[in-house]
């Protein structure tokens, strides 16, 4: 909870800020931290790393035992993130697997292969990726405190008192869609969700493992998809669905999905090495997303694609940018980022429109009929490859103007012997 603002007996004075910002405090040396980040998530670790590299005193509060524990993500990293996020440089080869394209299945299991020139995805051993990112954050100079549950904050003249965790000049909430920071400060919360369930199988090699295999099925995965993903240590299979009250339990839907994909890869007799489940925000960035000296980022801010439910790229990108903006503010170079920085957060206008249309007009019959049309190619271009084009270069003619999709099972067969792989 948030208590009333007070100076708590700390004799802090202030000076006018530069560039018209808030008053700069002259007692920040008495604060225990320049910034506390709640949540050792992708966004939280990125933000803390940027702050630590700027020479600020940063503590990350993480309620779990380590950053790789109890994750709720498939962990696919898009090429754009690898190209743009220097923090991912030197990502260990043993925790990632490169996948070159997407195989999109209609409800009747006919499929098209989608790709874009030079584009790829990295599937990951996500727990190990998170532990590696946490180690990089600590190497940058941040401190990560595990088993640390954020319970509330008391405003001071120049920051916050977090009780057992000391004082801080700035506070960042990167603690997921049920953010305790958002609750403490009356900030926005996500109200629209998908529910995801995923099994991970060790030592399983999927057919056509250079593709993410995505399954449209309104019966099993209304509002989203099912998937098979080749991972560094095996395979991941899962589905996510729009949350509503009158739907079959997710566990039962997963059993039916395993039956459906059995002609591609039969996992029904295998014991999963791990099972993940959780809520995925899909309604866009929350409002409000910041208060004075408080900022939400990552899933806590609803910074997840309403269509793909992917959030890693945005979490890293905007987490790093938030760290730089906060560092500028605390050093007196800019005003409080809660007044300007949040304007850079993604609005997802097109993807929110696609989410609206998919929620209301998803039809298995239409998707079976339209799988190979230009409309589907255009939608796939937006969703999977960010307008970079959709064709599989291994199946296309040499003329770039003759871009097409390779449609298997054109005569109506379900293509059961084709392949399985992930998303």
Residues 209 and 325 in one domain: no
Q: Which of 296, 325, 347 is the last residue of a domain?
A: 347
pLDDT at 421 over 50: no
Predicted confidence band at 20 (pLDDT cuts at 50, 70, 90)?
very low
Same domain assignment for residues 202 and 335: no
> Of the residues 347, 370, 389, which one is the last residue of a structural domain?
347
- The whole-angstrom separation of Cα 280 and Cα 302 is 9
The predicted pLDDT at position 387 comes to 53
Query: Is residue 220, in this structure, part of any structural domain at all?
Result: yes
33 falls within a domain? yes
The answer to whether position 105 is within a domain reads yes
What residues have CB less than 8 Å from 146, skipping those under 6 apart?
40, 62, 64, 65, 66
Burial label for 383, CB within 10 Å (0-12, 13-18, 19+), is buried
308 vs 27, higher pLDDT: 308
Do both 199 and 92 map to the same domain? Answer: yes
State yes or no: pLDDT of 12 exceeds 50.
Answer: no
pTM confidence score: 0.83
Query: Measured between alpha carbons, how far is 395 from 216 in angstroms, rounded to an integer?
Result: 23
Domain CATH code at residue 47: 3.50.50.60
199 and 290 housed in the same domain: no
Say how many domains are in the chain: 2
Q: Average pLDDT of the chain?
A: 84
| 413 occurs within a structural domain | no
Q: Is residue 419 part of a domain?
A: no
For residue 246, give the CATH number of its domain: 3.30.9
Q: Is residue 56 part of a domain?
A: yes
Q: Are residues 264 and 197 in the same domain?
A: yes
DSSP-derived secondary structure letter, 338 = G
**Domain endpoint, select from 327, 347, 367:** 347
Closest CA to 33 of 150, 158, 182: 158
Are 96 and 206 found together in one domain?
yes
Measured in whole angstroms, the distance separating CA 301 from the mean position of its chain's CA atoms is 11
Kindly report, residue by residue over 319-376, the tens digit of the pLDDT.
999 999 999 999 999 999 999 999 999 887 777 777 777 777 889 999 899 998 988 8
Beta pairing class for 211-215 and 101-105: parallel
**Structural domain that includes position 155:** 2-63+148-189+286-347
CA distance 287 to 345: 11
Contact 379, 365 (CB under 8 A): no
Co-location of 152 and 256 in the same domain? no
In a domain, 142, yes or no: no
Pair (277, 156) in one structural domain: no
269 and 357 part of one domain: yes
Q: Is 292 found in the same domain as 342?
A: yes
* Among the listed residues 53, 35, 39, 79, the one whose alpha carbon sits nearest the alpha carbon of residue 303: 39
The size of the chain, in residues, is: 423
- Dump pLDDT digits (tens) for 159-206: 999 999 999 999 999 999 999 999 999 999 998 898 999 999 999 999
Residues 160 and 294 in one domain: yes
Collapsed DSSP state (helix, strand, coil) of residue 267:
coil
Considering the domain architecture, whether residues 300 and 335 belong to the same structural domain is answered as yes
296 domain-assigned: yes
Express each pLDDT in 245-271 by its tens digit.
566 688 999 999 999 999 999 999 999
């Amino acid at each position: 909870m948030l208590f009333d603002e007070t100076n708590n007996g700390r004799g802090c004075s202030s000076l006018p800020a530069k560039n018209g910002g808030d008053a700069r405090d002259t007692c920040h040396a008495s604060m225990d931290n320049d910034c506390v980040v709640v949540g050792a998530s992708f966004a939280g670790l990125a933000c803390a790393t940027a702050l630590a590299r700027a020479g600020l005193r940063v503590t990350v509060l993480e309620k779990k035992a380590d950053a790789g524990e109890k994750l709720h993500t498939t962990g696919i990293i898009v090429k754009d993130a690898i190209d743009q996020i220097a923090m991912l440089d030197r990502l260990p080869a043993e925790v990632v697997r490169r996948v070159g394209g997407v195989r999109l299945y209609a409800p009747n299991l006919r499929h098209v292969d989608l790709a874009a020139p030079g584009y790829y995805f990295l599937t990951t051993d996500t727990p190990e990726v998170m532990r590696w990112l946490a180690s990089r954050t600590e190497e940058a100079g941040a401190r990560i405190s595990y088993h640390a549950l954020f319970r509330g904050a008391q405003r001071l003249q120049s920051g916050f008192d977090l009780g057992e965790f000391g004082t801080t000049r700035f506070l960042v909430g990167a603690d997921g869609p049920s953010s305790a920071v958002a609750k403490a400060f009356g900030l926005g919360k996500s109200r629209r969700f998908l529910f995801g369930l995923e099994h991970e199988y060790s030592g399983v090699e999927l057919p056509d493992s250079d593709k993410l295999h995505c399954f449209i099925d309104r019966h099993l995965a209304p509002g989203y998809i099912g998937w098979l993903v080749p991972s560094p240590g095996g395979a991941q299979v899962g589905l996510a669905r729009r949350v509503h009250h009158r739907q079959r339990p997710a566990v039962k839907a997963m059993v039916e999905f395993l039956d459906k994909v059995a002609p591609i890869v039969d996992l029904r007799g295998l014991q999963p090495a791990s099972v993940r489940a959780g809520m995925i925000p899909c309604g866009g960035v929350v409002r409000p997303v910041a208060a004075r000296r408080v900022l939400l980022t990552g899933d806590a801010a609803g910074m997840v694609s309403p269509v793909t439910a992917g959030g890693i790229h945005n979490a890293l990108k905007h987490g790093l940018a938030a760290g730089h903006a906060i560092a500028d503010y605390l050093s007196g170079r800019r005003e409080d980022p809660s007044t300007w920085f949040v304007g850079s957060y993604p609005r997802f206008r097109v993807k929110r429109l696609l989410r609206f249309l998919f929620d209301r007009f998803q039809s298995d019959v239409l998707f079976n009929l339209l799988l190979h049309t230009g409309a589907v190619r255009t939608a796939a271009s937006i969703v999977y490859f960010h307008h970079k084009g959709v064709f599989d270069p291994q199946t296309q003619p040499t003329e770039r103007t003759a871009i097409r999709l390779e449609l298997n099972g054109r005569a109506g067969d379900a293509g059961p012997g084709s392949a399985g792989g992930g998303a």
